[in-house]
Amino acid sequence: MAITIEALAAEASPREIESARGLLLEYGRFVTEAEGAAHFCFGKLQEEVDGLPESYRRQGGEMLLAYVEGEAAGCVTYRAVPAIAGACEMKRLWVRRAFRGTGLGERLIIAAIEGAASGGFDAMYLDTFPATMKAAFEMYLRLGFAPCDPYNDSSFERVVFMRKPLP
């Protein structure tokens, strides 16, 4: 199984941009439909989708896309946390159902960690809902993320904030 992970470039083709948009919108639908999930702000996600390919780069980060045998299979994004020097936030981890259980989510997270570290960040934050996203939460723990104090003003019930120092 040939897997590639690459950043969505400013000069991305229309096909790549449409793949990225599709992945983000799938993620948004999952979150809004998941039982017990937070009241997700789909409008904010739509702004990110409409701003591709530059949405995350303008915020000091990037969007990574995973392809399996040339097919768009997953994504993850990260962006700077302006209120915390040297910090970035990982967002929008999504793996299409057909590619779950292959280790692709872990590979995306590792690629985001490496990209953020090489971009000068020294810590990565995220927020998650363990009750709804149990497999992702367990993967975050396995990869060295630990619960931390809130780093944003999220008031969602049952949200868990996590942090990982970057190499």
Name the CATH superfamily for 3-165.
Answer: Gcn5-related N-acetyltransferase (GNAT) (3.40.630.30)
- pTM of the entire predicted model: 0.93
Q: Dihedral, CA atoms, 41, 80, 152, 110, nearest 10 degrees?
A: 80
Q: What is the pLDDT of residues 13-46, one digit of tens each?
A: 999 999 999 999 999 888 877 655 545 566 688 8
Q: What is the pLDDT of residues 39-93, one digit of tens each?
A: 556 668 889 999 999 999 999 999 999 999 999 999 999 999 999 999 999 999 9
Would you state the pLDDT for residue 154? Answer: 73
What are the residues whose beta carbons fall under 8 Å from the beta carbon of 121, sequence distance 6 or more?
Answer: 78, 80, 86, 87, 88, 166
Q: What is the pLDDT of residues 96-116, one digit of tens each?
A: 999 999 999 999 999 999 999
Contact between residue 60 and residue 80 where contact means Cβ atoms under 8 Å apart: yes
Map out the domains of the chain as residue ranges.
3-165
Phi, psi of 5 (to 5 degrees): -130, 125
22 membership: H or E segment, kind and range: helix 14-33
Determine the Cα–Cα distance for residues 36 and 23; give it in Å rounded to an integer. 22
The CA distances from residue 34 to 40, 47, 58, 78, 132, in Å, are 10, 21, 30, 22, 7
Contact between residue 139 and residue 105 where contact means Cβ atoms under 8 Å apart: yes
